[in-house]
Structure 1
């Protein structure tokens, strides 16, 4: 295979490989790096010796992702408490192909958080089999385990995901709950906030000073109630495909992105980002006129 033909064959696989790596790593940038590493290794490989290019590339990307996850686990500062999965923000009514592509690559934030609690081999087995239909025999070759061991890893991961990640409501119901939360916050309606917050709601707020975790509906409502005295404007958006809110300052600068997870008609988890540098690097639609 010529170099040009190999490059074209690789490009046909790139989208799928990025999707796999993103679900493994929770970061588009890290996923792109993993796929680029696969290309570099492919360029050094005798392509004539590769019988199944798609399988070979999946194996390489999987192993690169496992190495990355193990490196994160070796560093205490790389835990989820300090590392936020990538937030992909799109318009609520975005129907263009670009929005569709972003949402196809994104994963609900709540699921990414659950995936981040899995061991690297568990996460890879679950992602490859349950999300991409890769046979357990191939997964075993990637992680250096038997087919049966790979099945056990995926099964264990599946139970953890099912225990932690309850099915959310329908999109319209989710949106209505988050819109009610936004309206109650802007009105300073404490009782209204309590009606849309789960009693055990968790709010993780990321800023330049670190992560602040607020627990329980009363504490979260008290903090959200301050929105009534703020000069910022809240706009509904989708964050990783789920209802969220972007807050804009009067000068058109985004000051926060908030993602909400809704279950049984109430918000069970909120993740917000208020780091100006990270917000500036994000492609945030819906800037006020």
Structure 2
């Protein structure tokens, strides 16, 4: 590629980059992964003759969509090993005396909550919903990307839309589950094993993302024992809303955040826990000043 053709290709790609990043972010739920997908799209685009592409925007959207589909399918094939590498972006709101539904910061969790819902969709459903409902791409074009007819693609988007619309609004689960999390927190602080067992589902799963690995604990007894060990640490814990879920923020004696925990509640018991202790990731969170004490 000559220097002038390369400059033309760069200019054409850069004009589309913001949209490509937005599509990839909605598809993958991670800015880092989205940037990787867009970079891969650029590599493929740079190999093409610009004059051979009639619609640069459409071509690039097709390529970045297919890259994202490949990533999602790879994740589905290896969910446990990849989950730790693809922890969703977190929006954290610490609860003080105000109810979480009255906290203006909670509105910021809408985007993160949507990503969580999208993560539950099949790759083709997610693509159809994201491209059509969020970016107004025609079903005919989406059908060509996923290898389906326009009508079949409409059905994919419709199915995805029903799942998204049926998901609880951000914060609703946090309001309903706050008492359960508070009870869990008190029991952990007090060394009350039976109290912990009372709020843990027998089949509860806990995933802790550390700086080096993903630690998985299963079953109420194992999770309760881990909570008791954590309860002996010299930290201060408060209730929080994490991506719309009830959770806990742990701080050191100096006020630094050393851990986060989000809980999924069902029928008054904790059924799933996702915790983060990786300091690098914690420091990267954009936690508002009223949360971190500044």
Question: Do these two structures clear the TM 0.5 threshold for a shared fold by scoring above it?
Answer: yes
> What is the Cα deviation at residue 64 of structure 1?
3.5
Partner residue in 1 for 2:113: 107
Counterparts of 1:136 and 1:154 in 2: how far apart (Å)? 9
Compared CA separation, residues 107 and 22, structure 1 to 2 (3 A) = farther
Q: 3-state SS of the aligned residue for 1:69?
A: helix
* Cα-to-partner distance string for 1:152-187 (whole Å, 9 max, x where unaligned): 76689899x89xx99797441122222222222222
Equivalent position to 1:287, from 264, 276, 292:
292
1:85–1:109 Cα contact (<8 Å) kept: no
Map residues 253-272 of structure 1 onto 2, 5 A cutoff. 253-272=256-275
Q: 3-state SS of the aligned residue for 1:83?
A: helix
Compared CA separation, residues 242 and 78, structure 1 to 2 (3 A) = closer
Map residues 19-98 of structure 1 onto 2, 5 A cutoff. 20-32=23-35, 34=37, 50=55, 59-69=62-72, 79-92=81-94, 93=100, 94-96=103-105
Counterparts of 1:142 and 1:221 in 2: how far apart (Å)? 47
Alignment gaps of 5+ in structure 1: 1-5
Compared CA separation, residues 204 and 35, structure 1 to 2 (3 A) = same
> What is the Cα deviation at residue 256 of structure 1?
1.2
> What is the Cα deviation at residue 58 of structure 1?
5.2
Compared CA separation, residues 170 and 277, structure 1 to 2 (3 A) = closer
Q: In the alignment, does 2:239 pair up with 1:230?
A: no
**Matched residue pairs, number?**
272
* Cα-to-partner distance string for 1:76-126 (whole Å, 9 max, x where unaligned): 698434424223132244415xx63x42321378646644xx4x4354246
Partner residue in 1 for 2:217: 214
1:23–1:107 Cα contact (<8 Å) kept: no
| 276-285 vs 65-74, greater mean Cα deviation | 65-74
2:174–2:244 Cα contact (<8 Å) kept: no
Counterparts of 2:293 and 2:89 in 1: how far apart (Å)? 20
Larger Rg belongs to: 2
Please provide the CA RMSD for this pair: 4.3
Given the two structures, how large is their TM-score scaled by the length of structure 2? 0.69
Alignment gaps of 5+ in structure 2: 1-11, 95-99
> What is the Cα deviation at residue 259 of structure 1?
1.5
| 127-136 vs 56-65, greater mean Cα deviation | 127-136
2:204–2:272 Cα contact (<8 Å) kept: yes
